[in-house]
Amino acid sequence: MNENVEIDEEDECCPDPEGHEGEKKKMRYKIKMHCPEGEDAEKIKEKVLMRLGKELGDRSNVVMTRLNDDDLKKIDALVEVEAFKSRSEAAAFFIQEGVQARKDLFEKVMPTVEKIKELKEQAKESLTRKETR
């Protein structure tokens, strides 16, 4: 028996893009598919949802950016020919590629960033100790 399966799920996926601390944005997705004869629709649904979760799990952070017209046209061209499903997916890909291409830069910078974070934390602790005296 062929069965049509509709997946209509809502997930908390990422921080609220408007910056409300502690709030998560709900992401809704709807998938319609045809279930082949002999296949368990619920198992297929579960596999699809797990796959979606894995795909989005690595990219659950929202970053807003502005692009110039030329760059946007290039991104849109890749979406148009279905090299990417969306502008967001294309932008995430190119950011990741840029980070990988400049891996040496990040290897130099990250230890300094960690040290800065430590020093800031020490300064905060020092100030709170003085305030409680």
Grouping H, G, I as helix, E, B as strand and the rest as coil, residue 20 is coil
Query: Beta partners for 9?
Result: 29
Domain residues for the domain of 53 are: 1-62
55-78 core/surface letters (b: 16 or more CB in 10 A; e: else)? eeeebeeeeeeeeeeeeeeebeee
- Which pTM value belongs to this model? 0.51
Number of domains in the chain: 1
Please tell me the predicted confidence (pLDDT) of residue 1: 41
CA distance 84 to 74: 12
Whether 81 maps to a domain, the answer reads no
**Would 108 be classed as within a structural domain?**
no
Lowest-pLDDT range of 31-40, 78-87, 94-103, 104-113? 31-40
Asked if residue 72 lies in contact with residue 83, where contact means CB atoms within 8 angstroms, the answer is: no
**Paired strand residues for 113:** none
Whether the Cβ atoms of residue 62 and residue 17 lie closer than 8 Å to each other: yes
**Ranges 9-13, 45-49, 87-91, 113-117: which has the least confidence:** 9-13
* pLDDT reported for residue 122: 93
Question: Is residue 92 included in any domain, yes or no?
Answer: no
Q: How confident is the model at residue 2 (pLDDT cuts 50, 70, 90)?
A: very low
Domain-located, residue 109: no
Does a structural domain hold residue 76?
no
The per-residue pLDDT of the chain, averaged, comes to 77
d(CA 107, CA 18): 31
For 25-45, give the DSSP string: EEEEEEEEEEEPTT--HHHHH
Where residue 72 falls among pLDDT bands split at 50, 70, 90?
very high
pLDDT at 105 over 90: yes
> Does residue 88 form part of some domain?
no
Between residues 50 and 84, which one has the greater pLDDT? 84
